[in-house]
Amino acid sequence: MKLITAVIKPHRLDEVKDALQAFGVHGLTVTEASGYGRQRGHTEVYRGAEYTVDLVPKIRIEVLVEDDDTDQLIEVIVKASRTGKIGDGKVWSVPVDQAVRVRTGERGPDAL
Amino acid sequence: MNGADTAFVLISAALVMLMTPGLAFFYGGMVRVKSALNMLMMSFIALGIVSVLYILFGYSLSFGADSGGIIGSLEFVGLRGIDADTLTGGDEGIPVFAFVLFQMMFAVITPALMSGALADRVKFSAWAVFITIWVSVVYFPVAHWVWAEGGWLFDMGVIDFAGGTAVHINAGVGALAAVLVVGKRIGFKKEPMRPHSLPLVLLGAALLWFGWFGFNAGSALAADGTAANMALNTQVATATAVLGWLLYERVKHGAFTTLGAASGAIAGLVAITPAGAAVNALGAIAIGLVAGLVCSWAVSWKFKLNYDDSLDVVGVHLVGGLIGTLMVGFLATEGGGLAQFGKQALGAFSVMAFTFVVTWLLAKLVDVTMGLRADEDDEVAGVDQAFHAETAYDFSQVGTSSARGAVAPTDTTTDAPEGKTEGKKVDA
């Protein structure tokens, strides 16, 4: 099993969700996140006082997947979240030792 | 009794009352989340405290028989000798009760104006004591100087129609003195201190603008042409100041900000307050434009001169008040000129000198006796929790347990030592 994590622009969430559903992914976790990459932040002005806001709002999506699906799913997410402009985000995967469905106690790929 | 005038003054009093909560929202939106409630409360508590003081002795000290041009007598303590039939100025006057109520609202909002300079860092109990004494030794006498027959500035012919000197210059300079005693917020000029809710700021500005028609036009104390002229000029000067502030910001900082629009409105309202009944609509436009342009520049002084006037009470109220008070000297349609300008300047600077010295001494006194500044820990964590045992917004249900007090109120005061941990025990 792998955990795919995607940090994307907030307004691309629906596209990514739809694409994952179409692929057959049944569950995912979404959190609001903030951060920056090459895009960096922006400047805000309040009564002349300028503040550099480094962290911009992002959405973090986490999906547990079977090993064989990993590469293809990463492609799906990348395609759905791309706008072509700076700040589109990142997608990565890491190996997962164990997963348990809390209700039934199923383990491993059965729990996905 | 003049029924029309009475109705107008009573309605105006209600309008001015709304300005204090409006001010609370204007300021409250500008602070960070952790002290939003405290900012609201610093204004709101003035409604409680000053309303009572005004009945007890405030009205008498302001409008009682003059004593040496400095202060009123104690003849009306507790509104003694005044009843529903007592009228101001002869058979065609209004009930004195209506006048008392109207003037009371001015006394309420003036100390509240100072709170913006002291955001995030003042002990609430000390603030309550501070404004109690401040209105007694600063506001009531100055209101007497400016507005009461026999008051020395009134007799000299200083124009202060609705309170540019007595309210705005007074509060602005008082705020400056208090800031110099209290000191800077932790992190001033280092940490970002962004307003937490600009919609709240704009809502507050709108309520202030609305209430200000009562403040300014109501000061005519009659439903007449003077009131109409004042109301018109209030609108025009405020509108122009919004444009002036936005213009300055666009040129200097590259954007038309919401905070700038709200601030410009207040600057315009402040500047037209002393002047609006003595100028025509074109004069009001001139005053509004100068107020918008100069105040938007004045709010940057604190960074250069290194005083933490947190929400720019000096830059908006002191500077705006001075602009209106001085400009009317020249722009007054009747009697404007160098002589009037001299009177205006003397009035403004006398109040500045008096109020600065007395406020500084008072703040120092409160600081030495009970501590005016909040504990460092409380300030960093946010004074809302320390002094009010509340949180402004329930952003997340996570972590809120119902361990104590959620089922039935518990007595939390018994084990809370006075002073240092004021209110803190509630959620401990």
Q: What is the pLDDT of residue B361?
A: 98
Q: pLDDT class for A53, splitting at 50, 70, 90?
A: confident
Which residue from B122, B181, B130, B133 is spatially nearest to B388, judged by alpha carbons? B122
CB atoms closer than 10 angstroms to residue B147: 21
Question: pLDDT tens, A13-49?
Answer: 999 999 999 999 988 999 999 998 887 778 889 998 8
CA distance B272 to chain A (A): 21
Question: Cβ of A46 and B194 within 8 Å?
Answer: yes
Amino acid B217: pLDDT: 98
- Tell me the two tokens of residue B64: 């009682």
H-helix segments, B54-87:
59-63
Q: What is the pLDDT of residue B335?
A: 85
Please answer yes or no on whether A45 and B195 come within 8 Å at the CB atom: no
Structure confidence at residue B143 (pLDDT): 98
Gap between the Cα atoms of B38 and B231, Å rounded: 33
Find, in chain B, the residue whose alpha carbon is nearest to that of A51. Answer: B192
Are the Cβ atoms of B195 and A46 closer than 8 angstroms? yes
How far apart are alpha carbons B172 and B177 in whole angstroms? Answer: 9
pLDDT of residue B90: 85
Of B294, B135, B112, the C-alpha closest to B208 is: B112
Residue B260 to residue A49, Cβ atoms within 8 A: no
- What pLDDT is stored for residue B401 in this prediction? 59
| Rounded Cα gap, residues B287 and A80, in angstroms | 56
Residues of chain A positioned with their CB less than 8 A from the CB of B27:
none
> Which chain B residue has its CA at the smallest distance from A45's CA?
B253
3-state SS, residue A109 = helix
Number of H helices, E strands in chain A: 2, 6
Residues 39 through 68 of chain A touching chain B, CB cutoff 8 Å: 44-51, 53
Q: Do B254 and A47 touch (CB under 8 A)?
A: no
Output the pLDDT for position B192: 83
Q: Which domain holds residue A24?
A: 2-111
Beta bridge pairs of residue A94: A3
Among B303, B359, B383, B297, CA closest to B125: B383
> Nearest Cα to B126, choosing from B410, B365, B328?
B365
Name the residue among B292, B250, B252, B253 with its Cα closest to residue B269.
Answer: B292
Q: What are phi and psi of A91, to 5 degrees?
A: -135, 135
CA B163, B166, B171, B177 dihedral sign is positive
Helix (H/G/I), strand (E/B), else coil: A32: strand
List CB contacts (< 8 A) between A46 and chain B. Answer: 194-195, 257, 259
Q: How many angstroms separate the CA of residue B401 from the nearest CA in chain A?
A: 23
Looking at residue B423, its pLDDT comes to 45
Q: Is A102 exposed, middle or buried (0-12, 13-18, 19+ CB in 10 A)?
A: exposed
How far A76 CA sits from the closest chain B CA (Å)?
Answer: 32
SS3 at position A50:
strand
Q: What residues of B are in contact with residue A41 (Cβ under 8 Å)? A: none
Q: Residues A72-100: pLDDT tens digits?
A: 999 999 999 999 988 899 999 999 999 99
The answer to whether residues B2 and B204 touch, using CB atoms and an 8 Å cutoff, is: no
Interface touch A47/B259, C-beta < 8 Å: yes
- How far is B259 from B148, CA to CA, in rounded Å? 37
Which runs of consecutive H residues, i.e. helices, occur in B218-257?
225-253
Collect all residues with Cβ–Cβ distance below 8 Å to B426 and sequence separation of at least 6. B389, B405, B412
Give the count of Cβ contacts less than 8 A between chain A and B: 29
Radius of gyration of chain B measured on its C-alpha atoms: 21
Task: Select from A44, A47, A53 the Cβ nearest to the Cβ of B263.
Answer: A47
From residue B130, how far is each of B110, B169, B252, B360 by CA, in Å?
13, 18, 38, 11
Asked whether the beta carbons of residue A47 and residue B255 sit closer than 8 angstroms, the reply is no
Instruction: pLDDT band for A50, please (50, 70, 90 cuts).
Output: confident
The candidate with the shortest Cα–Cα distance to A5, out of A26, A32, A39, A30, is: A30
Q: How many domains does chain A have?
A: 1
What CATH number is attached to the domain comprising A6? 3.30.70.120
Along the 428 residues of chain B, how does pLDDT read in single tens digits? 999 999 999 999 999 999 999 999 999 999 999 999 999 999 999 999 999 999 999 999 999 999 999 999 999 999 999 999 999 988 899 999 999 999 999 999 999 999 999 999 999 999 999 999 999 999 999 999 999 999 999 999 999 999 999 999 999 999 999 999 999 999 998 888 999 999 999 999 999 999 999 999 999 999 999 999 999 999 999 999 999 999 999 999 999 999 999 999 999 999 999 999 999 999 999 999 999 999 999 999 999 999 999 999 999 999 999 999 999 999 998 888 999 999 999 999 999 999 999 999 999 999 999 999 999 999 999 999 999 999 999 876 665 555 555 555 656 555 544 444 444 444 43
| CA–CA min distance B385, chain A (Å) | 26
Confidence of residue A12 (pLDDT cuts 50, 70, 90): very high
Integer Cα distance of B176 and A23 in angstroms: 64
What residues of B are in contact with residue A31 (Cβ under 8 Å)? none
Helix, strand, or coil (residue B2): coil
- Specify whether the CB–CB gap between B294 and B330 falls below 8 A: no
Find chain A residues with C-beta within 8 A of B264's C-beta.
none
Complete domains list, chain B, with CATH = 3-369 (1.10.3430.10)
Going by the DSSP 8-state scheme, the letter that residue B145 receives in this structure is H
Cβ–Cβ under 8 Å, residues B147 and B88: no
Quick one: pLDDT at residue B426? 45
pLDDT score, position B129: 98
Distances (CA, A) of B216 to B3, B102, B184, B274: 20, 11, 34, 8
Under an 8 Å CB criterion, which residues of B touch A?
A: 192, 194-195, 249, 252-255, 257, 259-260, 263, 296, 299-300, 303, 312
Cβ pair B253:A45 closer than 8 A: yes
Distance CA B150, CA A88 (A): 72
Residue A96: helix, strand or coil by DSSP?
Answer: coil
User: Scanning every residue of chain A, which has its alpha carbon at the shortest distance from the alpha carbon of B311?
Assistant: A47
Q: Which residues of A touch B194 (CB under 8 A)?
A: 44, 46, 51
